[in-house]
Amino acid sequence: MSERWDRERVLALAPDAAAAKAAGGVARPAKWSGAGCDGEAVWGECQGSGTSVYRTCADLAGPAFRCSCPSRKIPCKHALGLLLLWSDGAVRDGARPGWAAEWIEQRRDRADRAQERRAASTAKARDPKTVERRERRVDDGLAELDQWLRDQVAHGLAQAEKASYRLWDDAARRLVDAQAGALSGPVRALASIPRQPGWPDRLLEEYAMLRLLVQAYRRRDALSPALRDTVRARVGFTVPQDEVLNEGERVRDVWSVTGSRDTAQDQLTTRHVWLRGHRTGRPALVLSFAPPGGILDASLIVGTEVDAELAFYPGAQPLRALVAERHGTPEPSVPDGTSIEGFLHEHAGALARDPWLDRWPATLTGIRLARGGDGDLHAVDAAGDALPLHMTSPWRLLAISGGGPVTLTGEWITGVLRPLTAWQDDEGAVIL
């Protein structure tokens, strides 16, 4: 990687605003000794408080970071500060010290071993006997889920109002045991439906969607290949990345990185990064995963665009994708959006192709904020159409917009829009 990143790209790696601010305090040459870089890494030793010296290294290919400081943030302020110095040209080329070379080599070895394990796992998963055993277990697990759903309706929805979390958790764990683990999340989510007026309708709707999936899986041989792929993915059958890269639909476009959200569940953190193509107007979702304290992919920076070829996972509504090939470097950009009517039309079409969609990306232009009749905050476009917003704290978005129009991106989930990023003429891209 011969080109040095700009400061915006470095600061986009910060886990929070506090880390980005603290990085400025250590991004001074006087605090560093032995700093150097090559085409793949940056390293150095930072003088801490007292006699403490922290060894810091960044593998640019990941990117990945290592620092001997006690901070739990990844990357920490020392890694960010070192990268800021490198971005400014204050770190010269040199030979890696032993401690940096050892960490990078160990990291590459671990990556190679992980690739070998994935290849071995894929080979085992394709064994005809293994495939037959799993499909038999999934069939049995979905038959049990079908009976469970019918029992819940037969016993009456009022009983669910007083049920403990164990009712849902036991059903979800049985699905994991049956190797239909993708269904365990939706089943557990039933327990979190707010017990407010109209909640029985929502619960019954979720029951119906689960049973629709069970019936679709039973009739999978009669489905179109694309819909069959969707159903299998919703049940828990994964497609290896190598297969997606080799056989998946390829789309090259200039992709705007419109938003990112991290979620934690079952000791695993998932990063959802949303993209939108300038030419195709097509949405894409790139996922990365990491255990607690692990490093998530930070190569797609919100507020930039990248010329790239994506490989899409198969399905009736292809959305999840892998970055197959990049062309050029990221550049700041404002994504091309739609009106609220255009967004709802997009979502309706996607839902017709995949009725189990649980989230859909929105990129809206000319949005102003207003209070609805219920007092909640809404996004309103030039035509007067509105969408309800769901935010823990709206003050940042209110301050950025200042009553004026913004380009707003977010995730449409269960009838509300969860904002991710806003673009304002003076401020540029602001992560919400």
DSSP state of 4: P
Tokens coding 262: 């991290």
Longest dimension (CA), the chain: 72
**390 and 426 housed in the same domain:** yes
Summarize pLDDT for 212-256 with one digit per residue, the tens.
999 999 999 999 999 999 999 999 999 999 999 999 999 999 999
pLDDT at 371: 87
Distance between CA atoms of residues 80 and 25, nearest Å: 10
**98 and 171 housed in the same domain:** no
Tokens coding 62: 């990941």
pLDDT at 122: 61
pLDDT at 292: 65
Residue 206 lies in a domain: yes
Residue 119 lies in a domain: no
pLDDT at 1: 45
Residue 116 lies in a domain: no
Give the contacts of 159 (CB within 8 A, at least 6 positions apart).
152
**267 and 223 housed in the same domain:** no
Residue 204 lies in a domain: yes
Tokens coding 310: 């994506």
Distance between CA atoms of residues 161 and 395, nearest Å: 34
Q: How many residues does the chain have?
A: 432
**325 and 395 housed in the same domain:** no
pLDDT at 90: 92
Residue 55 lies in a domain: yes
Give the contacts of 222 (CB within 8 A, at least 6 positions apart).
none
Q: How many distinct structural domains can be found in the chain? A: 4
Give the contacts of 86 (CB within 8 A, at least 6 positions apart).
4, 5, 37, 42
Torsions phi, psi for 379 (to 5 deg)? -95, 125
- Residue by residue, pLDDT tens for the chain (432 residues) are 457 888 888 887 887 778 888 999 999 999 999 999 998 899 999 998 878 899 999 998 778 899 999 988 888 999 999 999 999 999 999 999 999 999 988 888 877 777 767 666 666 556 788 888 999 999 999 999 999 999 999 988 888 888 888 999 999 999 999 999 999 999 999 988 888 888 889 999 999 999 999 999 999 999 999 999 999 999 999 999 999 999 999 999 999 999 999 887 767 888 999 999 999 999 999 999 887 666 778 788 899 999 999 999 999 999 999 999 998 778 888 999 999 999 999 999 999 999 999 999 999 999 999 987 777 899 999 999 999 999 888 888 988 888 899 999 999 998 899 999 999 888 888 888
Per the CB < 8 A criterion, the answer to whether 313 and 286 are in contact is no
pLDDT at 359: 93
Per the CB < 8 A criterion, the answer to whether 185 and 171 are in contact is no
- 286 strand-pairing partners: 273
Distance between CA atoms of residues 159 and 112, nearest Å: 52
| Domain span including residue 391 | 340-431
**159 and 225 housed in the same domain:** yes
Summarize pLDDT for 321-380 with one digit per residue, the tens.
999 999 877 888 899 999 999 999 999 999 999 999 999 999 999 999 998 777 789 999
**205 and 286 housed in the same domain:** no
Residue 396 lies in a domain: yes
Tokens coding 370: 């207003």
**328 and 255 housed in the same domain:** yes
